[in-house]
Amino acid sequence: MRETPRPQGTADDAWTKPPQFRLGCAFAHTAGASGSGNPHRSDGRPPHTPRGARYPGQDGCPGTSPPVPGQPYVVIGICVLLFALCTWLALAGGPLLRADERFGGVVFRGPMPRGVAEFLSDLGNTTIALPVLAVVIAYSGWQSHRRRTARWWLPGLSAAVSMAAVPALVVPFKEFVARPAPPTMEGVGYYPSGHTATASVAYGACVLLILPLLRSPVTRRVLRISWAVLSVAVGIGLVRCAYHWPLDVLASWCLAVILLELMALTAQRENTGPGPRGQRRPSPRRPREGRGDSRTAD
């Protein structure tokens, strides 16, 4: 016996009634996704979500998707805790601080040539690091301005603020901790290492400013690794020359990572601003109220 077809509801009824299960709905979307190349819509149109309205980076640069939520803050939190632990060790003394001094003696008698160590230590001087950072800020700002990038001045400004924060944080800690110098030096106030923080923040900021201008993922990865190797080499050179203890260098690395992560978070707002060439990015489309599903239940 043939069943009498149910009358089709109006648009208002479609919003008031609970959704009905339709056999094969998921398969229909899967088939549409395979045919249109879009895994979210069966008709090939972009999804009505903010994630579907993303814009590519500058000249197709990778990394346009936002990072994992909370990941930068986890790194900042770990570095803050490690910096606080290093400060506590420098103030309290004890066996761990004596172990740090013994390790510094091992590095001092290490195989690194004295001339190489002096050269690496000099890379942390402000007379070398600041001009390099100023040139990179000017170049990256000019390139971003040529491409009509929205808020092209923000990354350079955040780099300058991060660099200015180094002496504002290092000098008070030097006076507060007042750690004695290594045997070949005199006086107090060697924690944390100002040369290590200056080199790590200055050259790290240069890397963050240059990365959006590069297309090759291999080049970007090599640039990041080069910064890490340079920062470690500068720290080892300072300990090899007996200018600082290893704990001083470790605390400055933590401080540099905190400042660079904050700089990266600030510069990310440039990617969420207006679109390229001064155009505002369209807001995600929302379905109009009162429009129901015209398809009937099977």
Question: Is residue 82 assigned to a domain?
Answer: yes
Q: Is residue 84 part of a domain?
A: yes
Is residue 9 situated within a structural domain?
no
Classify each residue of 105-118 as buried b or exposed e, where b means 16 or more C-beta atoms within 10 Å of its C-beta.
eebbeeebeeeebe
3-state secondary structure of 180: strand
Find the helix or strand (DSSP H, E) in which 245 lies.
none
Residue 20 lies in a domain: no
95, two tokens: 């066996």
Q: Give, as one character, the DSSP assignment of residue 24.
A: T
Residue 285 lies in a domain: no
Total number of domains in the chain = 1
Summarize pLDDT for 146-177 with one digit per residue, the tens. Answer: 888 888 899 999 999 999 999 999 999 999 99
- The pLDDT of residue 284 is 46
The model carries a pTM of: 0.69
**Residue 178 above 50 pLDDT?**
yes
Span of 54-63, 164-173, 265-274 with lowest mean pLDDT: 54-63
Per-residue pLDDT of 83-140, as tens digits, reads 999 999 999 888 989 999 999 999 999 899 999 999 999 999 999 999 999 999 999 9
Within a domain: residue 236? yes
Which H/E stretch holds residue 295?
A: none
Whether 14 is covered by a domain: the verdict is no
- 132 is a domain residue: yes
Domain span at residue 149 reads 67-276
